[in-house]
Amino acid sequence: MSLYGVLRTGVSGMNAQSNKLGTVADNIANANTTGYKRASTEFSSLVLSSGKGSYNSGAVVTNVRYSISQQGPLVFTTSMADLAVQGNGFFVVSDEGGTPYLTRAGSFVRLTTADASLLKALARRAREPITRDDLGEESLGSGNARTIDVQVTRLRRKIEADPKFPRYLQTVRGTGYVLMSD
């Protein structure tokens, strides 16, 4: 084993432990945050093949998982006006000026007019794929495919826990988009 191999193995182990400490710290810091889903870290060992008469050191990698698909606890309150979402979905609310917001855990997300129009067009045809052209016509009155893609990306940042792996606003390859609901 070379000096480089020893250092590489040591650094991978320290990075893995750093990720573990980071998830523990996040869980502690957000213990009382409404809607926070806990994180956990899984460790994996990498074993590298070695040639005859030599040794290659392995490495350790981590995978951080968030429990976003699990239902959080419903908490009792003394207010008759409090509501909760059990399962998937959002509350759509608006302020005095009529600006729509989405909420799931008591924190509100401001929607632009374009966001609200796009979400309404998708909701009218929930679970049904919509082409980019149809989505542009129904939500924005017009728009090319790239404009719709940009608007969908912005909306995903507001409504998805992980916009890179959307759960609600999904891409249908070769077609367009679909709004998934329970």
Q: Which residue has the higher pLDDT, 102 or 80?
A: 102
Are residues 173 and 117 both part of a single domain?
Answer: yes
Domain that holds residue 45: 3-66
In a domain, 55, yes or no: yes
In a domain, 75, yes or no: no
d(CA 135, CA 121): 7
Which H or E run contains 28? helix 3-29
Tens-place pLDDT, residues 140-151: 887 788 899 999
> Given 66, 86, 101, which residue is the final one in a domain?
66
Give the mean model confidence (pLDDT) for residues 88-112: 75
d(CA 52, CA 7): 22
Which H or E run contains 10? helix 3-29
Residue 148, SS3? Answer: helix
Q: Which residue has the higher pLDDT, 78 or 182?
A: 78
pLDDT-based confidence at residue 87 (cuts at 50, 70, 90):
confident
Closest of 114, 179, 103 to residue 141, by C-alpha? 114
In a domain, 98, yes or no: no
Q: What is the DSSP string of 85-101?
A: --SS--EEEE-TT--EE
d(CA 67, CA 72): 9
Q: What is the pLDDT of residue 155?
A: 93
In a domain, 99, yes or no: no
Residue 153, SS3? Answer: helix
In a domain, 57, yes or no: yes
Are residues 119 and 174 both part of a single domain?
Answer: yes
In a domain, 160, yes or no: yes
Structural domains in the chain (count): 2
Quote the pTM value: 0.50
In a domain, 50, yes or no: yes
* CATH number of the domain residue 163 falls in: 1.10.10.10
Give φ, ψ of 91 to 5 degrees.
-90, 135
Q: What is the pLDDT of residue 121?
A: 92
pLDDT-based confidence at residue 43 (cuts at 50, 70, 90):
confident
